[in-house]
Amino acid sequence: MITHIQIRDFALLESVDLDFKSGLMAFTGESGAGKSLIFDSITSILGGRCSTANIRQGKDRYSIQAIIDLKEQPEAALYLKSQGFRWEGDEIILSKELQKDGKARVKIGDSLASTTHLKELGKYIAEVHSQNEQLFLLEKSHQLNFLDRFAHLDSLRSKVKLSLQNFRHWKEKLQGFDEALAESQKKQRELREDIEEIESISPKEGEDESLLQEERFLANGERLAENYRYILEELVEKEGAILKVFPSLLSAMEKISQMLPEKMAQREEWEEVYDRLKSLKTMVREEEEELFFSPERLDMVQTRLQELNRLKKKYGAQIPEILSLLEEKKSDLEKWNLVAEDRDFLFQKFNQSLGELKELVFQLSKARRNALSSFEEEVQKELIDLGMEGAKLQVVLRWEENPDGEVEEGSKSYYLSETGLDQIEFYFSANPGEKPRPLRKVASGGELSRVMLGLRSVLGKFSPAPPILILDEIDTGLGGEAANSLAQKLKKLSRSSQILLITHTQQIAAVADEHFSLEKVTTSGRTVAFAKKLSFEERKRELARMIGGKQLTQGVLKAATDLLQKKAV
């Protein structure tokens, strides 16, 4: 609970220090006295929105400090510890300062913090119900939360949420796989075509070099034959061929060497030339006999070389690299063939997760429908207690058809969220005989406040109440017995929650455990709002003002005294 609030330079609140205790804390005062400013400052220190417009004129900042007792708020304490905040004892100090340039300085305990920390902490310790905050009752997500908390479906909802996350995980995996698979089909076709092309040509390592040599040989075959024939004719075949006349030359050289012994070495050289020519003649004749020229073979060689060159150009590689690439492509294609087995696994997980999800969301939807009548009955009782005897709250649940829905039932698909299949709408009628219509369209601000309080009371029977309830003018338009009923309801709620409320109703102010009054004073052209805790006599006079206005007659004072004496419930 909040045990102390200190406010400095917050609009008309120049300097306010208030101490609170457990129970019902009521704030009263004439219109415009600054009651809402007190609540704005409290919600601000609990993470609410803040504006530089709230800085008092002539000042460069406002500051708010609150002391929070965490003794009976273990979840809030656990949150703060998880964020690294430390403090001693049961109480912790929250402080917030907003400068004109919009910079905010927040501290929790002795540590710097952020507005987000305050906001998260506020979720654990307080519930704010104001004319503006009542709007959240109109949000369908919050309406569903009321029903689910009443029916104790938090655990089942958590299971649905986790199941939906699991389902969408496998759904995304499968969709991503199918998209990749569709894209890969083109790649697979390319792989198969490349493999078939390379294998159909079937290149061999070194084949292109061998064919190039053969091509050169075949392309020059006819001219080679002519030259071989010419050499043989000149060497041995024609009249006066070299090898035919060479023996005569050797004989002449023999005679010379006999006459001139010093020419013996030269004669030997001539013999060596003769032996070499005979050897060359044999080699040329063999090559001439082996020479084979075929235009058909040349065409085959050139065609084969064209195929090999096309492969080398396409893949930008030589034949050894192309052969390695062929093996890589075969391996890649084999991997894609194995992918089909992966899809079977993903599809199995997808179907399994969908089945589990459908079972849970159908179970959740059924549980909600089973709780509807008792929920409506309990709310009806509370509305009667709040002076709304003829009012009726009806809860309508439906499934929303969606062609892209993730859950199918029969031939239809339905929208699904983390809260299940159900779409909710609160219907309301304030008077007997009126057909209920959507609450968001027909309820006034005061009616919304009381419906909210009725719902809060219902949930209080079945789940823990929030540590702090902040209520802003929820008694708008009430009087007589309705006001008495609301006062008793608030008093009862204050046994389990600290309640801070702004009220214009004397019955509610009278049952408060502490009564604070706000008053506006103008001096030297400046207006200041003051807040103070009232004594018994001051409370009596304030209640008298609320009953009879500024004329404090003995009758009005007596009525105020009677209210105070009857405040115990």
Q: How many domains does the chain have?
A: 2
Judge whether 336 lies within some domain.
Answer: no
Q: Do residue 209 and residue 115 come from a single domain?
A: no
Q: Do residue 116 and residue 211 come from a single domain?
A: no
Range of the structural domain that residue 302 is part of: 186-331
**pLDDT at position 433:** 83
CA dist 478 and 485 (Å) reads: 10
Judge whether 387 lies within some domain.
Answer: no
Phi and psi at 498, nearest 5°, equal -75, 125
Q: Do residue 126 and residue 191 come from a single domain?
A: no
Domain final position from 283, 306, 331: 331
Are the beta carbons of 263 and 257 closer than 8 angstroms? Answer: yes
CA dist 238 and 526 (Å) reads: 141
Domain final position from 311, 331, 351: 331
Q: Do residue 196 and residue 125 come from a single domain?
A: no
Residue ranges of alpha helices (H) inside 463-505 are 480-493
Closest residue by Cα to residue 517 from 143, 25, 5, 136: 25
Burial of residue 246 (CB within 10 Å: 0-12, 13-18, 19+) is middle
CA dist 457 and 485 (Å) reads: 13
Judge whether 377 lies within some domain.
Answer: no
**pLDDT at position 340:** 61
Residue ranges of alpha helices (H) inside 291-431 are 295-315, 319-385
Judge whether 520 lies within some domain.
Answer: yes
Q: Do residue 121 and residue 29 come from a single domain?
A: yes
CATH of the domain at 114: 3.40.50.300
User: If DSSP codes are grouped into helix, strand and coil, which group holds residue 84?
Assistant: coil
Judge whether 426 lies within some domain.
Answer: no
**pLDDT at position 191:** 84
CA dist 426 and 393 (Å) reads: 7
* Tokens matching residue 417: 């969220």
**pLDDT at position 126:** 87
Are the beta carbons of 308 and 300 closer than 8 angstroms? Answer: no
Phi and psi at 2, nearest 5°, equal -85, 125
* Tokens matching residue 413: 């698909």
- In the chain (569 residues long), the average pLDDT of successive 10-residue segments reads 94 94 93 87 88 91 94 89 91 94 91 92 82 66 88 93 94 84 76 87 89 81 81 86 88 89 89 91 82 77 90 89 88 71 84 94 96 93 83 92 84 89 92 87 74 81 76 76 82 89 90 94 88 93 87 85 73
**pLDDT at position 36:** 87
Non-local (6+) Cβ contacts of 335 within 8 A are none
CA dist 104 and 64 (Å) reads: 11
Q: Do residue 115 and residue 226 come from a single domain?
A: no
**Beta strand extents in 447-534 (DSSP E only):** 468-472, 498-502, 514-523, 526-533
Judge whether 427 lies within some domain.
Answer: no
Judge whether 288 lies within some domain.
Answer: yes
**pLDDT at position 135:** 63
**pLDDT at position 374:** 94
Closest residue by Cα to residue 407 from 175, 179, 180, 160: 160
**pLDDT at position 292:** 66
Contacts 24+ apart (CB under 8 A), 237-244: 242/277, 243/274, 243/277, 243/278, 243/281
Are the beta carbons of 55 and 61 closer than 8 angstroms? Answer: yes
Closest residue by Cα to residue 65 from 13, 26, 101: 13
Q: Do residue 37 and residue 122 come from a single domain?
A: yes
Domain final position from 310, 331, 352: 331
**pLDDT at position 130:** 65
User: How many CB atoms neighbour CB 457 within 10 A?
Assistant: 21
CA dist 484 and 131 (Å) reads: 21
CA dist 48 and 39 (Å) reads: 11
Q: Do residue 15 and residue 112 come from a single domain?
A: yes
Report if pTM > 0.85. Answer: no
User: What is the 3 state secondary structure string of 172-228?
Assistant: HHHHHHHHHHHHHHHHHHHHHHHHHHHHHHCCCCCHHHHHHHHHHHHHCHHHHHHHH
**pLDDT at position 569:** 40
Q: Do residue 217 and residue 326 come from a single domain?
A: yes
Residue ranges of alpha helices (H) inside 464-553 are 480-493, 506-511, 536-548
> Per 3-state DSSP, what percentage of the chain is helix, strand, and coil (rounded to 5)?
60, 20, 25
Q: Do residue 83 and residue 213 come from a single domain?
A: no
Q: Do residue 119 and residue 235 come from a single domain?
A: no
Q: Do residue 124 and residue 35 come from a single domain?
A: yes
User: If DSSP codes are grouped into helix, strand and coil, which group holds residue 100?
Assistant: coil
Instruction: Give exposure, 124-161, as e/b (b: 16+ Cβ within 10 Å).
Output: bbbbbbbeebbeebeeeeebbbbbbbbbebeebbebbe
Judge whether 230 lies within some domain.
Answer: yes
CA dist 514 and 539 (Å) reads: 9
CA dist 164 and 158 (Å) reads: 10
